[in-house]
Structure 1
């Protein structure tokens, strides 16, 4: 199901900046006010995962890409680009429906995503939860 929403060119530009230059750590995306386009909501170079989580609103939907760094059991450093689809239980039902049906408009344009994370509450996007997921699927 598609909502007819499209990703603004700035979304792909910001993603390329994160992916290629490594000057960004995460990007948050949202629907514009008239729900016709996905736009960049916030970009940050901060590697503080807890800070990233504070930008996921308790009553609003967002998508995000986070460059997640982690260490394997052998001590080697890895990173995976994680795509987050944040749709908290407290968000209005209509917003959650449009968010869900618009996800592919953004997700399909982002080449190189390693892991997808669906979040409806803080436990699903907690650092340990995502770390476990990237270690299992992100080798």
Structure 2
């Protein structure tokens, strides 16, 4: 449970383990339940196109997401890193941003195996190039 009192639904962790170990998903998007007491799965997908994943993030509400990000090292070797996204767009309601921010750690701690954490307030901060750069740096 987070400092905001928000709990993580068990299927959130199960879906993450399936993404990590079985590669059944390319991404998972999480949201706060309507009553703001639980983090639950919003949607998941196996679509390989990164831009298609980005279209699933709402322009005016907060979400968390996991994406199995594929990239090439500077030497050209293929790599994957599991990235955690804290999506909090500027146009999201203030209450949503506050609860999302104070609940993030509960979900983040429950997902073992995340390599990179991405904070996004607009689509430029989660662009393929930006995330690829963070993956190459390892932060």
TM range (shorter): over 0.9
Number of residue pairs the alignment of both structures matches: 138
TM-score (norm 2): 0.97
Residue in structure 1 matched with residue 3 of structure 2 by the alignment: 2
1:112-131 equivalences under 5 Å are: 112-131=113-132
Partners of 2:92 and 2:74 lie apart in 1 by 38
Shift of 1:124: 0.3
Partners of 1:3 and 1:97 lie apart in 2 by 9
Shift of 1:134: 0.5
Partners of 2:58 and 2:23 lie apart in 1 by 25
Unaligned runs of 5+ in 1: none
Shift of 1:53: 0.3
Shift of 1:74: 1.5
1:1-139 equivalences under 5 Å are: 2-137=3-138
Root-mean-square deviation (Å): 1.0
- SS of the residue 2:110 aligns to: coil
Partners of 1:54 and 1:88 lie apart in 2 by 13
Shift of 1:2: 1.3
Unaligned runs of 5+ in 2: none
TM-score (norm 1): 0.97
- SS of the residue 2:129 aligns to: helix
Partners of 2:135 and 2:77 lie apart in 1 by 14
After superposing on structure 2, the runs of 4+ consecutive aligned residues of structure 1 that deviate more than 2 Å are none
Partners of 1:40 and 1:77 lie apart in 2 by 29
- SS of the residue 1:30 aligns to: strand
